[in-house]
Amino acid sequence: MSGLRLAGIVLLATFLFALAGCSIGPKYRPPAMPPPAAYKESPSQFKETDGWKVAQPSDAMLRGKWWEIFKDPELNALEEQLNLDNQSIKQSFENFMQARALVREARSQYFPTAGTTPSLSRSHSSGQTSNFASLPLDISWAPDLWGKVRKTVQEFQYSAQLNAADLENVRLTQQASLAAFFFEIRGQDALQKLLNDTVEADKKTLELTKALYETGIGDQISVIQAQTALESTQAASLNLGVARAQFEHAIAVLIGKPAPAFSVAVRPMTTAAPPVPIGVPSQLLERRPDIAASERSMAAANAQIGIAYVAYYPSLTLSPRPAVLRAQH
């Protein structure tokens, strides 16, 4: 009889493991878009050459310190500080770490769970004291009959990859914004010098016009025009200073510093801008993390559909009789 019982247990375990290999729900396949045979808007250089290729996603490729192509030590220092202290990057990084923790939590459902509720009691009878300790051990396991756990793990894996792409997107966006603000300031510094020189020239023009008017050679209209030109240039110089302060404050926010404690020294741009290739290479589209994030979002949604399908099927939980360890003293 014991042999039959053992054979039955083995048969049941084999059946459960076989069911655990089942998976309910649609299998995810990345969206495919076959390229057309020809593009009617193709540039002339693509008509006779093989200038088109199938896209190869490369969003995980290391981008490196791309800002060093500008050869500006101050910009390099600001970008390094941004990577350490930017609050948006920190938040995206914590979201990514949370998504990874959810993957580990989902994988734990593959294994049995164990719990215990220890107890300690004391009794006194006929001058004798007895201590009783019990340590019940409850073990349960829900086999993944229809692939719900696997679908859940897949969903969280895709979500973690989505968060990783979002992290890279935020990092690139913040880095690019800092570089743009920095060069806006450098351009405004050069324009500010030009406006300062123009203000000095307009002041001299106004003095000369007034002198001519006072000697009877000039007229009052010329004086008013010179005064208006000077005030317009002074107003433009004042507005430029306000705009520079705004960009300076924006950089302070990006690198996680209070605006009053941060400043960018007035300095002309001494290095030439790096050459920019004509057109937009296809590698930029292949390396864009936001496109990768959208595709991972579809994969996670597909896994959620599989989890919803599993809800139609029964679930099974195996809970053997709890073992109790007792000690008496």
Show the CA angle centred on residue 50, arms to residues 48 and 52, nearest 5°.
125
Instruction: Concatenate the DSSP letters of all residues of 215-276 into one string.
Output: TTSS-HHHHHHHHHHHHHHHHHHHHHHHHHHHHHHHHHHHTT--GGG---------SPPPP-
pLDDT of residue 78: 94
| CA–CA gap between residue 81 and residue 256 (Å, rounded) | 9
pLDDT of residue 49: 47
Which tokens is 93 given? 């990084």
- Residue 89: what pLDDT? 93
Query: Which segments of the chain have a pLDDT < 50?
Result: 1, 10, 45-49
Q: Model-level pTM greater than 0.85?
A: no
Nearest Cα neighbor of 180 from 268, 79, 103, 108 is: 79
Burial (Cβ within 10 Å: 0-12, 13-18, ≥19) of residue 189: middle
Q: Which residues on neighbouring strands pair with residue 140, listed in sequence order?
A: 113
Query: CA 254 from chain center: how many Å?
Result: 15
pLDDT at 307: 83
Looking at residue 79, its pLDDT comes to 94
CATH 1.20.1600.10 fits 65-111+146-268+281-314, yes or no: yes
At 98 the pLDDT is 93
Give the per-residue pLDDT at 253.
92
What is the rounded CA–CA span in Å between residue 182 and residue 257?
15
In the chain, where the domains are located = 65-111+146-268+281-314
Are 82 and 255 contacting, i.e. CB atoms less than 8 angstroms apart?
A: yes
What the block records as the tokens of 307 is 């989890």
Distance in angstroms (rounded) separating the CA atoms of residues 176 and 173? 5
Q: Which residues share a beta bridge with 145? A: none
pLDDT at residue number 142: 78
| 95 SS3 class | helix
